[in-house]
Structures are given as structure tokens and as C-alpha cells.
Structure 1
Amino acid sequence: MIEGYLGRESVTVDGEMTLHLSTDAPRFRLRFYRLGRELIPVGESGEYAGTRHTPPDHPDGLPGLASPADDWGWPPLTLPVPEDWQPGIHLVEFVECGPGRPGNPPLLGAEQLEGHAREFFVVRPRTPGSRSRILYKKSTFTRHAYNRSDRPGLDRAVSLYDHPVHRAGGDGEPRGHKVSLHRPGGVIDLAYWDAPFVAWLERHGYPVEYCTDLDLHEDPGLLSSYDLLLSVGHDEYWSADMRTHAERFVHDGGNIAFLSANACWWRVHPTDRNTAFVSDTDHHVGDEYPHLPATDQWWAPVPDGVGNPENALTGVSFRNGGMWPATEWPGDRPRVGYTVQHADHWIFEGTGLRDGSDGGTADRLGAGTPLIGYECDGAAFSYDESGIARATGEDGTPDSFLILGIHVLEPVHEDFHHFKWGHWNGPVREPSISSPRAATMGLYTAGGTVFTAGTTDWPVVCGLEQDPAVVRVTQNLLDRLRHRSPLPG
């Protein structure tokens, strides 16, 4: 048994990284990889003495369960970050050594990326923007919210969703569910959403630099070195500072591409010197579920929420979209794609897609692939006299938001425990909006341009090149928005 976590998931070339490990092996080694078009080995350590450490008990006294809210406090191992490492997303593999241990197992390949006894981290250049004007933000707050701290042979099931810890607040800490960033858990979401898209970016010659949510939270000047910010996959948890910095970036002419969904759904408050966060969500508080009011819901009006709808930034909201049950994750789903609108827009250049304005039937972007889902976001809309879906703005979506693709979802089930389409937060908590729930792709300009794919699995379909038109749209998007001043048209 061996497991561990990073002291911080973002490090700088020629800086230091800190690891915290626990093992019942007498010794261990570390293997390092860089994730690009392939998983490339970049280094290996010598052997260190192994020691087993125990996690803190669950604060609610649940027998056999560790705490998702407390720093696990394992001793640190500090190592230099080699000067010759290329910036990017890296992986560290923990290798047990000693009698009866593998000692020298085969190197990991891209197909073995997911698993335990490993963690990922971001390596940043010493000078931001020196290698690329595109910044890829890895959604680390979301990763930690879902991290169950499991390991082989032991399902601890402790996260913001499984046996969460809700604290009343006080003494400088906000009220809400608390999650520590200092816990092990292995690699899951990185393998599903990020790895295919990172490989695609490198195959197609798009150099990017990387950061974590914490980097964007802490550094108000970070985005000034870039022209395009990428949000990829599942990007659910945002701090107020993250959002402020992103909105200022757009106001100043920067561009954002949300190749993601369920984006900016919950506000988080980093605490404990930014090694944990608190978010007052609708998840369990004792036997209460859903827990309401969930005061860190971005869209819900004060005092029941933040009162600042996420779609004022993203253009869309999960409350106007939907998902598939987690028991079927990532779920079988209709492979219908987006109905195309405004096919003459630059986003569709070279795709050959039609919007029906020639009297024919509108094409569907991504038809035949699982593009829509597993979660998707939408904007309140209505159809005009020509049958074009247009955003109404009644939910906070900017007036200039242009719907380029849409897929209307079936009504949400009355029991939100069993919904398949739509999201219970929308029709139940915001009945004044009568718009159908729909996955929505589109963009708006307000200084810079903000594009939203409206679906978590856009980077998967693009990264695996399952649909040529999705690939071309992504290329059009990156080619246009990688420059801070978009070309006319």
C-alpha cells in the first residue's frame, strides 16, 4: 500500500515541490511523467525510507471513515523541480520497494493514467506567458470536491458528496461544507476530460501554459500575461476572486473558452492558508438533503445564495441545462448533437454545416457522438418568428449572447434523485423562467469574447477526434481567440 498527495498542485520550473506519502513498504521511489500527446517519463528518484501514517478520523465520529475536511498532516518530502522540465501537466507515480514489492514495475502509459498510487501537478514557467498566450486552467477545486480519498482495497468514500462535513462557521471561517486539499485520492478526472484534449492540443500544434484554480484565485495579475483562458471539462467550483479576475480579464479584452459545463456552479472560500475550502452547498448536512438555503449557489438571490448568476460570465447555467444520473456515469445518452444556428458565423468556417436557412433541415454538430453531457449548461431562450433560438437574458445571460447550437432537453423528473434531463434547481427553485431546458453552445463579446461549449464532454469528443466538425470548430475557436483582439467578422 502506498498513497500520497501534493503540498501544492502547482509548481514552477527550477522551484520546489512538496509530497506527503504514506506506505507500509520499507522503501519507495518516485517516477515523474509529463502529459502531452503521450505520457512521457521525465525523471525518477532514488529510494526513500517508507513510513505508514494514518488519516484523521471523521469529525462526525463515523466509524472507519477518515476526515474529508482536515489536513491529513503527513510529513513532507521536498524535492527540486528540474530546470529542464517542460511546463505542462505532470504525474508522479509512487512505487513501493522492498521484499515482496514490485520495485521496478513497467512504466505507465496513457492508457494507465487513471488509478491510485499517483497524483498530478502543474509545472509553470518562471515567466508567465513566455511560451504561450493560451492558459489552460485545470479545475482543481472541483477535483477535490469529488475526491473520495479511496485507495485499492479501501473505499473511504469521504468527500463533499460522500459523508461531507458541514461546519457552522465562526472564528474567521465561513459557514459550509469543508474540504481539505491535503488528502490522497489518485487520478480520475484528469484521465477522462483533460488527457484527450491535452494530447489533441499538442498534436495540432497549440502550445499552452497551465495553472490551477488556486493560481487564478491568488494572483490578480496572472491573466494579464495571456490572451485566452481555457476552462476544460468539469469546472464546477469557483472562488469569488477567481471570478473577479476572469471578469476583469474579459473587460480588458481577454478571451475565455468554456469547453466545459456545470461551470462556476458553486462559490468556494479558500481557508487554512489556501489548503482547504468551504462551500455552503445543498449536499448532506446530517440527515438533511437537499440542504437549503445553499448560500454559496452563485445564481440564487440573496440571502439564499450569492445573487450573482454564473451566466453573467459564462453565458449559460447548469440550472437551464441537465445531466445523467451519477449511477450511470458517464452514462449512455442520446447521440444527437447540437442543432446548428448561424452557419455563416466564423465558428463554423470549413465545417460545411448548414442551419436550414436554405430551406433544408439544419445539420447537427456532433451527431452520432456523446457530445451532449454528461452534464450540460444552457441559457433561457425563446424562438423568434423564423424559428431561431435567441437568449432572453432573463436569467442573467448577456444581451449579446448568440446561440450557435442548441439541444432541447426533456422535462426534469419531479424527484430530483432520479432526474435524467434538466436540473431540479431550475424548474423547482426558479419557476419564473418558463424557457425549456437546453444544452446551449454560443458566445458573446464584452471587451473580449467568451465562448461556451455548454457541455462537459466537448474536450473528450474533440480530443478523441470523434467528429470532424467539432474538431474544426475548436480549431476555429483557438485560432481566433488566441489573440486578445479578435479579428473582425
Structure 2
Amino acid sequence: MSTTARAFRVSAFRVGWYAGRQAALVWSSGTVAGRRQARPALAVPRRTVGAGWEPSLEVAAHGWPEGAYLLRLEADSGHQRYVPLVVRSAGAAGRTLLMHAAATWQAYNDWGGYSLYRGRDHTYEHRSLAVSFDRPYAGSGAEKFLVYERAAVVLAERLGIPLAYTTGLDVHRDPAVLRGATTAVALGHDEYWTPEQRGHVTAARDAGTNLVFLGANTCYRRVRLEPGADGAPRTVVCYKNAFHADPYLARHPGMATTDFRSGPGADPESSLTGVLYEGYPADAPYVVESPGHWVFAGTGVRRGESFPHLVGVEYDRVTPDAPTPSPIEVLAHSPLTCKGRRSYADSAYYTAPGGAGVFATGTMRWVEALMAGTDADGADHGMDARTGAFVTRATENVLAGFAAGPAARHRPAPRDNAGALYGR
């Protein structure tokens, strides 16, 4: 910790469902003396920021239930920040596995003035090419978790289905965490994947593990993880369109840290997710195409019914010209205009030969919509309580249905309508 406050305290909250409360206090520290630590260091030429601070407090998490946590740091002045923490499950056999997107959290983190998107001068040209976990998260400390993940965790816990918890970094390191899982869930913004993570998730699908993609732009960037002194991943490398400047490429020509669909070893994400990321920024109504699908059971929706602002701020669509599983059913087909171009955002469902079902929402606002109309976070993009109720029921249907095992064995087969919708 680095603070100008004289002292601070730490409280650990497990996110979930506790008779209506959405978190439970599991531990708190005593008073810890505050001190201001050294300025962060910038490592060139990849413009990587590291805090390099001395530890202020060690927290023993022995006995904490596996799950998603927020550590609340509270200064004696009243100022607060968060630290997101996942207490990992050793395995997920017979359970729904929530995969938290730590690599994406870090990619957007501009603490110290640099992220994978911009440098201290706010230009893309001077962005980081590699970002380190050895620094705090900017802002509240947990923005990506709070916006794109927390509400899904609460809903899954409220459903009462057996759950397991992990991160994309852990799936990258050890595919065993996926073994026997009924379902693996990528949450609302899970953009940055390693080829290893993607391979392990694909293998799990092929073995019968259902997949849920609750956002858009999932598995879009191909990254490399570099270890710290303890061997655990500490650095996320992604050169993007400057991949040719990465020295690693000389000996690993198929490992360009750019978009999965680009560069050497192109492998569009649609072969896994069923949908292809297309654009940003977007704001459009979500339009139902297949009202009789089991995902929409109990919602009472009709074909053509719409939900304002549910599509955004990034979106995916079924793209028959890209590698796309078949048959695939478009459940929602939402017209939009993005940067002057007319297109569609699609929710889609397909089944794999091994029996797994795969559902993708096609919009990044899906998890945010779970809280629409409640004013819980004060920013719902204009989505109302009706939208919140629809998204909540559909998400419940997916998670509860998939918890019963490979979906092809107990749910209707997808009706291939993509060709009719796109004239191919």
C-alpha cells in the first residue's frame, strides 16, 4: 500500500448471495500504519510500469471459501479503494466454472500512466507493449470486476447451482481446472486470451463442457504471459499491430501477440464462440429473433420485440464467411449502425459434436443489464427494469439448463437460421 493517510484498515468481502445481501464480510485487519512508497518505475522499451513497493500487510486466506472477493482498503481519512481477489477452485468437476478475466483487467489498467491502449501522453503510439500485475489497478481498483462480473456472480450464487471459480490465467496454466466442469463461463468483458487458454477451453467444449460467453469481444486479442520470480504469470504481452517488433517472434513465428484473426497463425475467435467481434462503439435495441428458444423460456417475448440500449458498447455477430460452427441458431438479430456502417449484433447458440451447448450474448452490456432499473451502480445506459428482468431470466435459463450437463443431451438442437438471415 502507498498512502498519505496515517493508517488504514482492510476488509475482505466475498461476493455472492446472502439472503438478499450481495456480499459477506469474511475477514478484517487491525489498524495498519500508512506510508507513502516510492514512485513507480518504467521499464523500456516495452513501457512497462511496476510499483516495486514493499509489502504493507500479509493476508492469510486459509479457510476462506473459494469465490470472488473484494478487499476494501479504507484510510483513516475515509477514502476507499478495492483490490479484486479470486480464491481459486482446485477443480470444477460437476460444477459451473466462472472464469474471471484478469488479463483483460490488466490490459485496460492505466495506473502509472500506461496501459495496452495509451501512454502517459494519452497516445496509442506510446502505449505499453507489456503490462505488469506488480502495480495497483487505477480508479476504484476494481472497475472491470464491478461493471462486467459482479452481477453475474451474484446471480449464479443466488441460483444455487454448484459453482467453481478461477481466472483465465489459471486456465492458461493448468487445464485440469476445467476437467469435468458442466459449464465454463466467460464473463462480460474477457478480451485477452492466450492460445493455451483458448486451446484448453476448446478441448473442454469438445469433451462436453458447455460454454457461456456473457459479453462481446471475447477471445479477441492473442497474448503471451511472462512469469515473475515465483514462476506465476506477472506480465501480459500484446504488441497488437506492432507485433513484428516483438523479439519473441523470431523464434516463435506462429505466436504474434495481435488479434487472433490477424497476423501469422490467424485463428478467428468465431470457431469457438460462434460469433465474431465487429465494432465499437454501438448503442442499439436488442431484437428477439427466436422467441421459442429455451433460452427465452418464461420471458414471454415475441419475435421482433426489442429492449432499448441492450446492444453496446461493443458487439458481435454471426459471420458465415468466418469459421463458424454449424448448425448455429441466431436467437437475437439486432440492427445497428456503428461508425456509419449498418450491421447486426447477434446472440447465438450451437452445439458441439461432444454434446456441449455454446451460448454467446453478442453484446457487452449483458451483465450490466442484470442490474438495470435497480440504480445499484448508477449507470445502466438507459436500460430499464423490463430489460433487467428479461436478461436475468434468460441468464438463469442458460446457467440452470447447462448445469444439467451437455446441453445437446437434454435441450432441443439449434435451428440453423444464419444462412437465411444473411442471405448465404
The TM-score with structure 1 as length reference comes to 0.69
Query: What's the offset of the Cα at 1:346?
Result: 1.9
What is the match of residue 401 of structure 2?
Answer: 480
Q: Distance in 2 between matches of 1:285 and 1:157?
A: 24
| Change in 2 beyond 3 A, CA 1:68/1:211 | farther
Per-residue CA distance 1:133-161 (angstroms, 9 max, x = gap): 01111111111011111xxxxxx432111
Query: What's the offset of the Cα at 1:22?
Result: 2.0
Query: What's the offset of the Cα at 1:259?
Result: 0.7
- Structure 2 unaligned regions, length at least 5: 246-255, 373-384, 413-424
Matched, 1:80 2:66: no
Matched, 1:163 2:119: yes
How many residue pairs are counted as aligned between the two chains?
368
SS of 1:128's equivalent?
A: coil
Pick from 337, 349, 354 the counterpart of residue 286 of structure 2: 337
| Change in 2 beyond 3 A, CA 1:411/1:195 | closer
Pick from 306, 312, 317 the counterpart of residue 378 of structure 1: 317
Query: What's the offset of the Cα at 1:218?
Result: 0.8
What is the match of residue 3 of structure 2?
Answer: 23
Per-residue CA distance 1:154-200 (angstroms, 9 max, x = gap): xx43211121899xxxxxxxxx8111111112121222122222223
What is the match of residue 124 of structure 1?
Answer: 88
Query: What's the offset of the Cα at 1:235?
Result: 0.9
What is the match of residue 25 of structure 2?
Answer: 41
Per-residue CA distance 1:75-131 (angstroms, 9 max, x = gap): 234331131x232211112233xxxx43xx5xxxxxxxxx96321101134x4237x
Pick from 126, 130, 144 the counterpart of residue 106 of structure 2: 144
Q: Which residue identity is paired with 2:61?
A: V
Query: What's the offset of the Cα at 1:371?
Result: 1.1
Query: What's the offset of the Cα at 1:28?
Result: 3.2
Per-residue CA distance 1:373-428 (angstroms, 9 max, x = gap): 11111122xxxxxxxxxxx2x11111222111111222534xxxxxxxx6xxxxxx
| Change in 2 beyond 3 A, CA 1:261/1:164 | farther
| Change in 2 beyond 3 A, CA 1:488/1:120 | closer
Q: Which residue identity is paired with 2:82?
A: R
Q: Distance in 2 between matches of 1:228 and 1:69?
A: 35
Q: Which residue identity is paired with 2:88?
A: R
Q: Distance in 1 between matches of 2:107 and 2:361?
A: 23
SS of 2:202's equivalent?
A: helix
State percent identity of aligned pairs: 29
Query: What's the offset of the Cα at 1:207?
Result: 4.5
What is the match of residue 143 of structure 2?
Answer: 188
SS of 1:93's equivalent?
A: strand
| Change in 2 beyond 3 A, CA 1:207/1:453 | same
The TM-score with structure 2 as length reference comes to 0.79
Query: What's the offset of the Cα at 1:244?
Result: 0.4
Q: Distance in 1 between matches of 2:156 and 2:184?
A: 14
SS of 1:262's equivalent?
A: coil
| Change in 2 beyond 3 A, CA 1:314/1:75 | same
Matched, 1:395 2:322: yes
SS of 1:226's equivalent?
A: coil
Query: What's the offset of the Cα at 1:227?
Result: 0.9
Question: Equivalences for 1:85-484 in 2 at 5 Å?
Answer: 85-96=64-75, 101-102=76-77, 105=78, 117-125=81-89, 127-129=90-92, 133-149=95-111, 156-163=112-119, 177-185=129-137, 186-273=141-228, 274-282=233-241, 296-300=258-262, 304-319=263-278, 321-324=279-282, 333-334=283-284, 336-341=285-290, 343-355=291-303, 362-364=304-306, 367-368=307-308, 370-380=309-319, 392=320, 394-410=321-337, 412-413=339-340, 437-446=343-352, 447=354, 448-464=356-372, 466-467=386-387, 468-484=389-405
Structure number, greater radius of gyration: 1
Query: What's the offset of the Cα at 1:298?
Result: 0.5
SS of 1:374's equivalent?
A: strand
Q: Distance in 2 between matches of 1:323 and 1:206?
A: 35
User: Which piece of structure 1 moves more, 453-462 or 116-125?
Assistant: 116-125
Contact kept, 8 Å, 2:4 with 2:34, in 1: the verdict is yes
SS of 1:234's equivalent?
A: coil
Query: What's the offset of the Cα at 1:305?
Result: 4.5
SS of 1:275's equivalent?
A: strand
| Change in 2 beyond 3 A, CA 1:280/1:344 | same
SS of 1:201's equivalent?
A: helix
Contact kept, 8 Å, 1:116 with 1:187, in 2: the verdict is no
Contact kept, 8 Å, 2:15 with 2:70, in 1: the verdict is yes
Q: Which residue identity is paired with 1:260?
A: G
- Structure 1 unaligned regions, length at least 5: 1-20, 62-66, 106-114, 150-155, 167-175, 287-293, 325-332, 356-361, 381-391, 414-421, 423-435
Q: Distance in 2 between matches of 1:469 and 1:27?
A: 45
| Change in 2 beyond 3 A, CA 1:402/1:295 | same
Q: Comparing both structures, which one devotes a greater share of its residues to helix?
A: 2
